[in-house]
Structures are given as C-alpha cells and as structure tokens.
Amino acid sequence: MTSDQVIWSEQGRLHLSYKGHIESTTGGTLLGGQVEIEGDIDGTETNATGPAFSAANHGVRVGDTIIIANTQGVVKAYVEEVNGAVLDVAPYGVANLAAFTTTGGTKDTTILVYGSEFKKGDDYQGSPARFANEPDFKTFTNKPIILKDYYEISGSDASQVGWVEVSGEEGQSGYLWYLKAEGDTRARFADYLEIAMMEAELGVPGTDFVDNALGLTGANTAVAATGTEGLFAAIESRGNVTTGVTGINPSTDFDEFDLILAEFDKQGAIEENMLFVNRTVSLAIDDMLASVNRSSNTGSSYGVFNNSESMALNLGFEGFRRGSYDFYKSDFRYLNDKATRGSINDANAAEAIRGVIIPAGVSTVYDQTLGRNLKRPFLHVRYRASQMEDRRMKTFVTGSVGGNITSSLDAMQIHFLSERCLITQGANNFMLMK
C-alpha cells in the first residue's frame, strides 16, 4: 500500500484473442482482405485515444494463423503483414474476405491466433514483423477510506449507576451499566467495516461533490479522490452479472445456473466457489437440487462434503457439484435483514442484489510496492499498519472521566477508527446476482 492507494498487477490471458472489425474485404498486399484490432477479447481498448496503435500493443505477428469470426461467417487466414492495428491476411481456401462486409469500429469480429506457418528453411521475417511476445499484465488500484465513530458519556451520567440486564451482539450479558450502549456502538462500527467494503463506490472528482464536502481540492486529481471500490462495484465493473436463478421453476433455474457455469468456463474455471445468497435464491437452489433426485435429503445434493448431509449442515453450508465446479452455499443475512440490504432490495427490485459468487482459494499477484509475487485470497482487505501505528481497528479513550485523563472534557469518549480497502483479485471469476 503506497501513501494513498494499493497497486497490484494480474496476469492477462495466455492466448491471443481480440475484438475488432473487417477493415477491407479485398485490401492488403495480397488483396486477401484486412482486419483491424480494436481491443482485447474482454472488450478493453488497447489504446483508448483511438483505433490506431502500435503493433506492440497486441501480439499478432507476421506468420501467425488466425481465425476470423462474426455473424457472417468463420474463416481461417494467414497473417501476411502487420501495420499497427491493421492485419493484412490471406484466407485459406478462398481468395479474400468477400463473404464478409466491412464493419468499421464495431468490435463485432473476433480474431483468435491458433498457430503459425513457415516454409522450409525460412527465418523469421525480420524483427519488426516477428517480435517476441511479452507477458500481458493488467494493473489495478484501489484506495483506502478512513472510517470513524465514537461513543460518549458524560461524567455525571457515568457516576449515576443504573444497572440494566442485557444480552448484546458483542457478548455482553447480565447486568451492565453504560457499557451496553458502548457495546452497541462497537458492534455497529464493526458491521460498518464490512458493509463499507461491499457497498463502497469510488468518487469522481469534478463530477460529484464528495471531494468538496470533505474539503479536498484539486478536481480530477488523486488529491481529491474519494470513496473506494467495494465488492459490488468491482464485480459490476470488472466481473460478471447474472439475473438468473429467480425461482420461477427448478428446470428454468437449472438452465440459468448452467449459463453461469458456461460464463465461468470462459473466464478462469476456478473449481471451488462460495455462494452467498438471499433467502429467495437459497430456496430456489434447494428446489433446483431437490428436483434432480426428488429428495433434498439424499447424498447427491451434498457432493463436496463426501455425500454427508449432516457434515454439510454442521459446517453451516450446503455443498453441491455441477459439471466440474463445487459450490458451497450459505444464506447471506445482510441481503435479507430489513435493517440492512433487505429493505434496499425491497425499495428497488430492478437494482436488487440477490447474491454473489466468490471463488475460493488464492491467486498469485505481483505487488508493486514489495516488488515480488504474492499469494493472496481472491478477496481480502488491506489496511494501514506499521510498528508505530496499526489502523486495522484502532480504539482509544479521551476525556477526563475514568482513569485515563487526556483533556478537560467532562466526558468519556471511546473512539473507533479504521483505514482500509477491499482488494478484489481476478474479478472476472466473480458473479453478482441481481
């Protein structure tokens, strides 16, 4: 973590696949046609300032053999020349790309490198045309936010003993005094630490006014950066979103769930995944599994727990296997509770968040600060900490009430502070259910 941001890099896809368009059906040196690359297979433009960029921005080289495909057809071709983003091709079996029409700037065509071809005794056709491909890395950043809260009780109230029988979420039980309110404040703040990591959004200086509200200056610069990228925002921006598995009927839900698996096949095929879902989706999955064997109590519904139903239930999850994927399902109280996301989902069903699928395990990333590869969970929290200051969850007391007198304030203030951000690695392996 640098002064104001966390920087990490993720390795790109191994194989060379791009989005582009048919530039010319009969152009090029051999009049076989031309295709232009506009971005990678995920739709990211290699050069956001325009369609023209250097050959080094993509990995297609002279001598490569490629597949060109769109709704008009599929053809395999030899790359005869590379002019920046434009590839001169010689199709196999046909004279040119006359079966296609030119569709400039639409990204409607997929270009996939599947091999290469050279004649006997041939050398590479010059370094400008046949260069060595370097690994593709994508760099991501996120910034921490500072969360604060405090509880205060005056010296007068602290000296007026009034016992209340309580049972709090922080483990308080029996007859307590003002510590009940302090315990609730602590519990609420602990919840905020987690909720903020899910719900947070990055501000846009110069567009919104959060930077002004916080007294920051320097619009459109990192100085005025506000907010942080939470889990939901990261998945919507870099991951996958589904509207399937709504509980219409088990057959439809199964078909929609298989579409989720098909999308995972395209992304990274992480075998084990966690399902955190609301009650509606949870019951829909239960009905879906029950329809397979007419009984949700038989072992086949709990495959990832060695077909032991009791073991699955004791762990608080229900596990099942579909295709080559293992899923561990758990009800997500946050999405059901009326005092949290449940009421937000009720207020706007179109924007409701019904669940999230998170890959289990770890991924390898390059830490820009440490300068080496690290294994990190796909989803983890980074916070500021050093030998001198630990801001993961900082608690301190100020005032003149109690044994620790720090000021003339006739009160005890218990402060809570944290500075943290969420890192969503490999977001293309996540799925948001809306």
The span from the CA of 173 to the CA of 25, in Å, is 78
Question: pLDDT value at position 51?
Answer: 42
Would you say 419 and 383 are in contact if contact means Cβ atoms under 8 Å apart? yes
Strands (E), 207-361: 240-242, 272-277, 318-322, 325-331, 355-359
Note the pLDDT tens digit of each residue in 78-124: 999 988 889 999 999 999 999 898 877 778 899 999 999 888 887 76
Nearest to 378 by CA among 328, 427, 433: 427
- DSSP assignment of 56-85 equals GGS---TTEEEEEEETTEEEEEEEEEEETT
SS3 content of the chain, % helix, strand, coil (to 5): 25, 35, 40
- The secondary element (H helix, E strand) that includes residue 20 is strand 17-24
Residue type, 368: Q
Q: Has residue 154 got a pLDDT over 50?
A: yes
Note the pLDDT tens digit of each residue in 340-368: 999 999 999 889 999 999 998 777 666 66
Q: How many CB atoms lie within 10 A of CB 173?
A: 10
Question: pLDDT value at position 182?
Answer: 81
State percent of the chain over pLDDT 90: 40
Domains and CATH numbers, the chain: 17-132 (2.40.30), 142-231+363-424 (no CATH), 247-353 (no CATH)
pTM across the whole model? 0.78
Would you say 103 and 22 are in contact if contact means Cβ atoms under 8 Å apart? yes
The span from the CA of 59 to the CA of 52, in Å, is 15
Question: pLDDT value at position 50?
Answer: 42
